[in-house]
Amino acid sequence: MKPLMVFSFGGWSASTPLYETLCQNKVVRRSTVKEPNILPAIISKNSDSISDKYQDCMKKNREGCEVFQCTSIDDYIEWLLKHHNNEYLGVSDATNTHIFFDVQDISTFAFKFKEAFQVKILIICRDPVKRLFSHLNSILNPGHSLDNLGQNERLELVIPYLDKPEPIQFPGQGWDYRQKAYEPYMESNYPEMIENWSQFFDTHVICMEDLWGDRNNALEKLNTFLGTSITLTPNVYYPDLGPNAPHHKGLKDQWSSDTEFITQKNYDLAREKLQWVYDSLHYW
């Protein structure tokens, strides 16, 4: 039987707790890093984009640093097959940049991955307004268009731009909310994201709030999809405690993303603009 290959992603939607859940339950063997970004580097022909990860890996003397030297799909598949061992069902890549791949991008590697693996896609979704609220507050690019603004102020500025989907494309940009391919908008485009990946692979959509809130048989459905019997690891986005979220080790990307509570007015205004997302999934 082919080993399992799990691509999981969903920015500011508990992708790290999902990855930790898969690793700690031995569904997948822990990768060198959660988000190696190998496929984006290969597709963009930009190996420099992962050079910092390689250097950091070598500095920390981690196992598997050679993954960052993969320059082709074949190289990466070969590395993944070597990394797999029978203590686990398979391997994974939890790179959130995969969100921005369109059909043409995915087609460049889909066939070869399906030849080597039993591929499963996990797309984890979160309340679209709350996800966007966290994302906008986590942009690290110095001098970006929302720099030096509070979390609610950032949301207020982008609300007029939320009434229609931003087409998914790679690469995206995280600099200017007024320009095309703005990553926080594209990551809200769940309908296109799901459509793109499900054309090629067996795809399962997870509602974060349902999974950690023990609602709508979400854990049972996930276990059925993966053929597992997993239990969940902590997720500081649920319940939603905003800036008072517990500081669990390894989840700084979550608890550092909210420094304010979203105002009810801003939530309602943003939700009205993003109604096209809510209508497409019916989770929230």
* Per-residue tens of pLDDT for the chain, all 284 residues: 999 999 999 999 999 999 999 999 999 999 999 999 999 999 999 999 999 999 999 999 999 999 999 999 999 999 999 999 999 999 999 999 999 999 999 999 999 999 999 999 999 999 999 999 999 999 989 999 999 999 999 999 999 999 999 999 999 999 999 999 999 999 999 999 999 999 999 999 999 999 999 999 999 999 999 999 999 999 999 999 999 999 999 999 999 999 999 999 999 999 999 999 999 999 99
Cα-based torsion angle of the residue sequence 159, 204, 230, 248 in order, rounded to the nearest 10 degrees: -20
Give the relative orientation of helices 128-136 and 151-158 as an angle to the nearest 10 degrees: 120
The C-alpha torsion from 67 through 120 and 188 to 168, rounded to 10°, is: 70
Characterize 40-55 residue by residue with b for buried, 16 or more Cβ atoms within 10 angstroms of its Cβ, and e for exposed: bbbbeeeeeebeebbe
Q: Do residues 276 and 161 lie in contact, with contact meaning Cβ atoms separated by under 8 Å?
A: no
CA distance 33 to 20: 12
**Residue pair 3/89 in contact by the 8 Å Cβ criterion:** yes
Give the angle subtended at the CA of 104 by the CAs of 185 and 2, to the nearest 5°.
105
Distance of CA 153 to the CA centre of its chain: 25
pLDDT for 57 equals 96
Distance from C-alpha of 57 to C-alpha of 64, rounded to nearest angstrom:
8
Per DSSP, the three-state class of 174 is coil
Enumerate residues 6+ apart whose C-beta is below 8 A from 119. 5, 6, 7, 113, 201, 202
Cα gap 45→88, rounded to integer Å: 31
DSSP code for 86:
T
Comparing CA positions, the residue from 263, 207, 216 lying closest to residue 235 is 207
Q: What are phi and psi of 202, to 5 degrees?
A: -65, 115
- How far is residue 205's CA from residue 200's CA, in Å, rounded to a whole number? 15
The whole-number pLDDT of residue 66 equals: 96
Q: Within a 10 A sphere around the Cβ of 134, how many other Cβ atoms?
A: 25
Residue 83 sits at the vertex; the CA angle it makes with 82 and 84, to the nearest 5 degrees, is 90
**Do 172 and 186 meet the contact criterion of CB atoms below 8 Å apart?**
yes
Q: Which two tokens stand for residue 154?
A: 């950032």
CA distance 30 to 112: 22
Phi, psi of 225 (to 5 degrees): -65, -40
For residue 270 the two structure tokens come to 């943003």
